[in-house]
Amino acid sequence: MLGVAKDPLEHTSMYERTEEDSEGSDGEGGMGNVSRVIIRPPGVSGKAKRGQICFDAAFETGNLGKANLVGEFEYDLFLRPDTCNPRFRFWFNFTVDNVKQDQKVIFNFVNISKARNLFNSGLTPLVKSSSRPKWQRLPKKHVFYYRSPYHQNHYVLSFAFSFDKEDDVYQFALAPPYSYSRMQSYLNLIESRQQQGGEKKFTRSLLTKTLQNRNVDLITIDHVVGKVKTNRVERCVIRVIIILCRSHANASPASFMCQGFLEFLLSSHNIAKILRENFVFKIVPMVNPDGVFLGNNRCNLIGQDMNRVWQVATEFSHPEIFAIKNMLKEIDNSDSYQIDFVIDLHAHTSLHGCFMYGNTYEDVYRYERHLVFPRLFAGNAQDYASANMIFNADEKKSGCARRYCCEKLSDTVNAYTLEISMGGHYLKDGKTVALYNEEGYYRCGRNLARTFLQYYRFINVLPAPLPSEVRQKKRRPRTHNSRSRSKNRYEVKPRPKTTRSYAPISYTNLSICYDSGGSSDEGGFSPTRTVAPGSSHFSGYRNYRRVASCTMPCAGTTNQQQQLTHDQFALLRIKSGRFDLAQEPSLHDYGGKSKSQSPEKQTRFELPVNVPPKPYLSIIDLNQLTRGSLRVSSFED
């Protein structure tokens, strides 16, 4: 039978509760966590009443050191520091019960040690209850992170909450917990699946024991049929990829990412099959089981940061790191194996998105090769934050896995730290933050596995797929019966047959100056046109009548003088809206009778005639900047 991890909502404590413990017990459990502590108002004793909240953190991954009632509905909560190290206080995980329906409370975490975090950037605590077992984020409007003058100007995290069901047990946590028992249950589950399926895809072995005698498991995936020839040295080796996870106890998102990576490798996906057949994977799903079980923030049982002691780790103080180092040295010194990657999975509390930390090298070619994998991973992960990526050789990080593997192992090793945020990632607009859930962490692990395939194709270790082998976009089978839709819904009605007519265009009173004696850009001049005295250049049809009246034959005028009064573009030269340039100008009166032509050749005009005169360009001195000067200049031209 599989070992199923117990849910802390069932009040299963990591310390054995005796039958003498009553409902009103307010004693504290071991390691400093509160164990069924009931907070009563001052001066109240006896059996706990409904509404007197009971706090409990004495279970696996739990962390809450103390709770004080400071108001009618306000509580100050103190986080328990890591065992043997009071420096780290950030992780919390506790349960609350014995509440009233619609009871409202305010919880203040008053001793957080990490001032720079994501609580001001969208991160909020998680909550679930016994009747709603899915983790949910608290609304941002109910969460506050600020400096409190009542707590020595320290940063305080406060949030308001209302209990809607009095029979439920509520659990609050910084991030979705991933306990040691859950990891063991998952490994037992995939082992049973492998036995039932008959195909052996991985091997589970014991790497070492912790200080509290817990298992440090090693998952090995080795189905390489033939050895792959490398490009740098003339020898045939098997390439090895090593994944480390959960060096820090509070990095539960890293465990979800590791589980997503492992599930993808053991699946029947084509990429997973190619990776299993060509490379060896060694995965350590939990490097710090003691710290995870105790609910520490960062350290192990003796208060040591497991990602800062790689250069000084010993068999007695850090047996987990010591065993991993021996495994790396053994593989690196082998003639049959070559370590290509050592990737340490972590969770970040101060930055959004997922990103990588790398190393710097004096060898330029090695450094350029070192940049390839993060670039490929950024193309697969939409939540990748390139701005947070760092490549350095910081002496302060000399004790971490990334720096140790860079200095002590062969030049072929690429060591990275893959970080994923406890909060969320930015969307395409660069402003909106989408908070992660468990599926988001699983997806990041799957993206990591896909990137390995792209990397080895990029360096020509694996052949690139042929165009015919590329998976086409999935379409619905022809046997699929689509939904019945109304035929009249998308029916296009024909347009009615109508005659096309042009709308009349009127050119009267346009604010465009057509008359000028100035020169155009080509050096030509517009024809001279007479305008009645006192009239405007923009008089439109009124000027037409005045020009027509001025052009009537008078005594003593010759035919040549009459022709000078208008040109071939005048309105009197229009016949039925068209220019007649073949004939000489003829004079007409408004009665429609000509005095110089026979009645057969008389021309009649229908008024008004909406045809504009010939436009031209007017040159204005741009040095005259005032409105009045420009107007005078336009008339003078």
Annotated catalytic sites, by residue?
419
By DSSP bridging, strand 354-359 and strand 390-392 are parallel
Q: Which residue has the tokens 């009649």?
A: 604
Q: Which residue has the tokens 């005095």?
A: 595
Q: Cα–Cα distance between 397 and 370 in angstroms, integer?
A: 18
Query: Nearest CA to 256 among 267, 247, 246?
Result: 246
Q: Cα–Cα distance between 359 and 409 in angstroms, integer?
A: 13
Sheet holding 136-137, edge to edge: 37-38, 54-56, 93-97, 170-173, 126-129, 136-137
In 36-187, at which residue ranges do the beta strands (DSSP E only) sit? 37-38, 54-56, 66-69, 74-78, 93-97, 103-109, 126-129, 136-137, 143-148, 154-163, 170-173
How far, CA to CA in Å, does 247 sit from each of 216, 300, 585?
12, 9, 103
How far, CA to CA in Å, does 363 sit from each of 360, 367, 370, 412?
9, 6, 11, 12
Task: Kindly report the number of other CB atoms within 10 A of residue 70's CB atom.
Answer: 12
Q: Which residue has the tokens 């860079």?
A: 406
Tokens standing for residue 489: 């819904």
Consecutive H or E run containing 547? helix 541-550
Beta-carbon-side half-sphere exposure of residue 592 (alpha carbons within 13 Å):
6
- Find all residues with CB under 8 Å of 608, minimum gap 6, and list them: 508, 541
Beta-carbon-side half-sphere exposure of residue 332 (alpha carbons within 13 Å):
20
**Mapping DSSP to helix (H, G, I), strand (E, B) and coil, where does residue 632 land?**
helix
* Three-class secondary structure assignment of 571-601: HHHEECCEECCCCCCCCCCCCCCCCCCCHHH
